Structure 1
Amino acid sequence: MSNGELYTLLTNKAASGQKGSIVGIFKGVERFNIISLIKEHINEKLRNQVEEITLDLSPTMNAIAKSCFRKASRVADRFHVQRLAYDAVQQERIKYRWEAIDQDNWEIKTARENGTDYSPEILPNGDSIKQLLARSRYLLFKSPEKWTASQKQRAELLFERYPEIHKAYYLAIGLKYAYNHDCSKQVGWLKLAHWVEKVRLSGFKSFNTIADTFYNYYDNISNFFNN
């Protein structure tokens, strides 16, 4: 429907997907234009009744929410925070996949030059190394208890051969578990801070970027535990 264009959506969660769920749809993400339109069509008295705004980690969206809904608490959507961690895991997987593709191409070329048949290594589950890395994409988004039998076997093979992916995966899962607590804002942030410390010690550059994001968006992220 969007034809690849960006839109900013303002929705009302209390409407539960029924009439009144969509408050506004604005083409683009230019903050001054969107702020102007929201203020033009929704009077200040109504906007000041809004208690909480859930948004992503975009500074543009944060500026819009701050300007238009001055009395509302701004909450970084857990989905967007966790997605950063899962993207970091996928970055590790993709790095090794390209290395496997390069290795595979080199072995094919060498076999051809030597006049021999090329036979790739086949793992116990029937995957080649390239297939193992390609087919592991979806299981790395899931918790271990949700893996199917074949995904569990694939994960064991993947983690045995690529311990760095194993390490990155359990960092991402650790963030999920840090969120899964019904606790106060102070305790919730403490759990997230412990996770960030593990990230600092891990040595993953991509995860360190996430740690910086936590500190830059401390208020929005920690506000998740208010409700």
Structure 2
Amino acid sequence: MFLDTHPISSKSLEKHYHIDGDQFGQQYKEHLSDYPEWDQKDHAQDWMIFPQNLGSQLSIDETSLSNGELYTILTNKAAKGQKGVLVAMIKGTRAEHVIAILKKIPEKERLKVEEITLDMAGSMNLIARQCFPKAVRVTDRFHVQKLAYDALQEMRIAHRWEAINEETNAIDNARWEKKEYIPLCFENGDSKKQLLARSRYLLFTSPENWSESQKQRAKILFAQYPDIQKAFSLTHKLRLIFSKTKDKGVAYTKLAHWYNEVTESGFNAFNTISATIYTHYKEILNFFDNRSTNASAESFNAKIKAFRTVLRGVRDVNFFLFRLAKIYA
């Protein structure tokens, strides 16, 4: 039981207990654990389901288990990442396959699910709609915000390439004229190229959390690139809508105004986020009912990756899944 709740690598066993860890691990797998009689052993690598862990609030997400192989994972929010959190783990993200497996859970039980959080992938939306028809689907707010951050960073990177090309041309010209190239620097010591490179993190952060050097850098950046200032203002407003607004009706109005601002800005980089909000606005607004996010699913994915790291990778997928099920299912 100790091994089921505290995953320890064979090397750690050998170091701390002076035994052959690899041999002990093999003994545990073949004799000490109930792995040989595990009722999901024959199909675990393709799918595992644990209907007893179904709850009223679920999260669905995907994760990479080994060698880039993706698995769709359904988790129960009420378990808070502990035992009983894992409802299903299915190889692949193809909607038809995942739906077929999840429908092995009795319909009566699936109809009890009231809410499910997910990202904006069409396959996830289809899975949630087909398998849990009575559940409110909630698009994860952090996925929406990330699209806005990505658009802002895309604009910064485009300007940085312009600065790099400008500096390269200036260096070439100085070489032809047999002069020393001295880059123009701003009052904080940044060249234009450095200013754009070093502004990456401050653009992810709220202004109230900026350090003094970040405030100075932001002031210079926004003076040089008003479009970045406008784009940053848009991302910050979206962040505030999610973090400060409590009422769903108010959020609808604010999101509509924000959408109009994005449209009027003419920023091509924001086309994806504006199209996403237009398509998914109902599921996005459902966040304001219970303020549910997919953070629990992301946290569980992190646990899987940590478990994989402790075991120094996944050599036997079936046995890895068995141990994962013993701890979390």
TM over 0.5: yes
5+ residue gaps, structure 2: 1-64, 291-329
- Given the two structures, how large is their TM-score scaled by the length of structure 2? 0.66
**C-alpha displacement at 1:104, in angstroms?**
0.9
2:184/2:191 contact within 8 Å kept: yes
Alignment of 1:85-124 (within 5 A): 85-124=148-187
Matches of 2:217 and 2:154, distance apart in 1: 18
5+ residue gaps, structure 1: none
**C-alpha displacement at 1:182, in angstroms?**
4.4
In the other structure, the counterpart of 2:96 is: 32
2:147/2:272 contact within 8 Å kept: no
**C-alpha displacement at 1:167, in angstroms?**
0.5
Kindly tell me: are residues 2 and 152 of structure 1, through their superposed partners in 2, closer, same or farther at Cα, counting changes over 3 Å?
Answer: farther
**C-alpha displacement at 1:121, in angstroms?**
1.3
Asked if residue 125 in structure 1 is aligned to residue 192 in structure 2, the reply is no
Matches of 2:213 and 2:67, distance apart in 1: 37
What do residues 61-117 of structure 1 show as CA deviations (whole Å, max 9, x unaligned)?
100000111110000100011111111100110100000111111111111111111
Asked if residue 62 in structure 1 is aligned to residue 125 in structure 2, the reply is yes
Matches of 2:216 and 2:67, distance apart in 1: 40
**C-alpha displacement at 1:183, in angstroms?**
3.2
Matches of 1:152 and 1:21, distance apart in 2: 43
* 2:262 corresponds to which of 196, 199, 207: 199
Matches of 1:14 and 1:203, distance apart in 2: 43
Q: SS in structure 2 opposite 1:75?
A: strand
Q: SS in structure 1 opposite 2:246?
A: coil
- Give the RMSD, CA atoms, in angstroms: 1.5
Greater RCO structure (CA 8 Å; 6+ sep):
2
Q: SS in structure 2 opposite 1:217?
A: helix
Greater radius of gyration (CA): 2
- Identity between Structure 1 and Structure 2 (%): 55
Equivalences, count: 226
Following superposition, which runs of at least 4 residues in structure 1 exceed 6 angstroms of deviation?
Answer: none
Q: SS in structure 2 opposite 1:85?
A: helix
Q: SS in structure 1 opposite 2:73?
A: strand
Matches of 1:206 and 1:43, distance apart in 2: 45
Matches of 1:189 and 1:31, distance apart in 2: 30
- Given the two structures, how large is their TM-score scaled by the length of structure 1? 0.94
